[in-house]
Amino acid sequence: MYRCVRVAAPDNMLQCILWRNSPEDEFGVYKLDTVTYGTKPAVFLAIRAKHQLASDESSSYPLGAQIVMRDFYVDDLISGGNTVEEVLEIRHQTTSLLARGNFRSRKWCSNSQEILGDIPDADRESFLKFDDGSNITKALGLVWDPLKDSFLFAFTPRITPGRNSKRSALSTIARCYDPLGLIGPTLTKAKIIMQRMWRDKLEWDESQPQSLDTVWSAFCKDFVDVHHLSFPRYIGATQEVAFCDASLEAYGACIYARSIKDGHIQVHLLCSKARVAPLKTLTVPKLELCVAGLLAHLVAEIAKTKAFDCSFYCWSDSTVVLSWLKEVPSKFNVFVANRHAVALRPYSHEPSGYFV
């Protein structure tokens, strides 16, 4: 994508390089006339040029302009539609629009072979092999099985008996990429163990005590079971139901998408977010208030995408927190007042969200 964007004069003079093939030759001066990957403004210039192209061609390709502005992450496009015809139109308009700026679209992949029928093999995404033999590809870091149209997770533990340390534990947690929080409860358990290492003031490469080493090894052994987990990529929703809860060790929030298909009610996990409780001990009601704010922000982020035109219902089992939220923040101490405002701020302009 970067080499498709030309740098106008006189700014291209700032991209001059010196080159010679041998020490005996004179230096030659070469000027790079396109955006160079690795420079600080490269990402902004490329994306800004693509957005300007979408704005200029919006009258000719209205759907394609909307997709380019909304569904691109740098040079990766993830989009879809409710019918094959709609997706084909998205592909046609997006490809035609980008071609106006000399952006070539390639590495196409879909859960429907009908959509890929007229695309040559050279422009299709090549598949990888998952542990169970499934053909997969990567979608912004997530493992996607197009045939089953589901997201998968893979984890290969690195267990060295008696040599587990804080560094190896952090490395293991960092290898688990889960931006939607689909396996959030499992990773939260790992972070709780990690917090215990910090509480015990272990050095980075110091061997863990027997108690922690046993707990961490058991976690890694059980964590292999994430291979058996899969989550559907497509989730239709007529209603969003969100929950939050807290304990003295951690607190978390999750959002479920509820829909009705062929007379049957379907409920799927949409996303989740969790936090480990701070080292400074807080009461359970205060932690419940913290997670209410976390849930409010999570719902606000989902609503901002405008992917679901439905109501959001947020549930908490803490009567203390619900009573706090019914009052004005000025009635409480600073801790409660600040988090009270955080929990309700996302709903100040969103009448479709409710705490129950």
Residue 309: inside a domain, yes or no? Answer: yes
Q: pLDDT tens, 175-210?
A: 888 999 999 988 999 999 999 999 999 899 888 888
Of 208, 232, 256, the last residue of a domain is 232
Of the three residues 100, 116, 150, the one that is the final residue of a domain is 100
**CA–CA distance, 91 with 345 (Å, rounded to integer):** 38
Helix (H, G, I), strand (E, B) or coil at 77: strand
Q: Could you tell me which residues are beta bridge partners of residue 17?
A: 30
Amino acid at 339: R
Q: Which alpha helices (DSSP H) does the chain contain, by range?
A: 42-56, 62-70, 84-100, 166-174, 184-199, 210-223, 284-305, 319-325, 334-344
Residues 257 and 343 both lie in one domain: yes
Q: Which residue has the higher pLDDT, 265 or 351?
A: 265
User: Containing H/E element for 30?
Assistant: strand 28-31
Confidence label for 242 from pLDDT (cuts 50, 70 and 90): very high
Distance in angstroms (rounded) separating the CA atoms of residues 226 and 332: 43
Q: How many domains does the chain have?
A: 3
Same domain, 190 and 261: no
Alpha-carbon span 27 to 14, nearest angstrom: 17
**Confidence band (pLDDT; 50, 70, 90) for 10?**
confident
Amino acid at 237: A
- Angle 8-9-13 from CA coordinates, rounded to 5°: 115
Does 115 map to a domain?
no
State yes or no: pLDDT of 158 exceeds 70: no
- pLDDT, residue 352, reads 46
**Confidence category of residue 284, pLDDT binned at 50, 70, 90:** very high
149 and 95 share a domain? no
Residue 340 placed within a domain? yes
On whether residue 23 sits in a domain, the answer given is yes
> If residue 186 lies in a helix (H) or strand (E), which one and from where to where?
helix 184-199
More confident residue, 314 or 131: 314
14-28 pLDDT, tens digit per residue, is 889 999 999 899 999
Residue spans of beta strands (DSSP E) within 95-226:
128-129, 135-139, 142-145, 150-152
Residues 244 and 215 in one domain: no
Please report whether residue 224 resides in a domain. yes
77 DSSP β-pair partners: 72
Q: Is the pLDDT of residue 295 over 50?
A: yes
- In 3D space, the residue among 102, 42, 100, 105 whose CA is nearest the CA of residue 71 turns out to be 105
Contact predicate 42/8, CB 8 Å? no
Select, from the ranges 58-72, 135-149, 299-313, the one with the highest average predicted confidence (pLDDT).
58-72
pLDDT-derived band at 355, boundaries 50, 70, 90: low
Whether the upstream peptide bond of residue 10 has omega within 30° of 0, thus cis, is yes
Q: What's the pLDDT score for residue 174?
A: 87
pLDDT of residue 348: 46
Q: Which two tokens stand for residue 160?
A: 């060295």
State the residue for tokens 């003295």. Answer: 248
- Residue 142 shares a structural domain with residue 245: no
Torsion angle, alpha carbons of 194, 199, 203, 207, to 10? -60
User: Which of residues 203, 232, 261 is at a domain's end?
Assistant: 232
| Residue 36 clears pLDDT 80, i.e. is over it | yes
CATH number at residue 281: 3.30.420.10
pLDDT category at 350 given cuts 50, 70, 90 is: very low
Rounded Cα distance between 87 and 208, Å, is 53
Is 155 or 49 the better-scoring residue by pLDDT? Answer: 49
pLDDT at 157: 61
What are 93's two structure tokens? 């308009």
222: Cα separation from own chain's centroid:
24
Over residues 271-275, the mean pLDDT reads 95
| pLDDT the model gives residue 108 | 92
Range of the domain at 274: 235-355
Tokens of 106: 């390639």
Beta strands in 130-276 (DSSP E): 135-139, 142-145, 150-152, 230-232, 239-246, 250-261, 264-276
Which of 73-87, 108-122, 228-242 has the least mean pLDDT? Answer: 228-242
| Position 117 in a domain | no
Task: Give yes or no for residue 324 having a pLDDT over 60.
Answer: yes
List CB contacts of 353: < 8 A, sequence separation 6 or more.
296, 299, 303, 311, 312, 313, 314, 346, 347
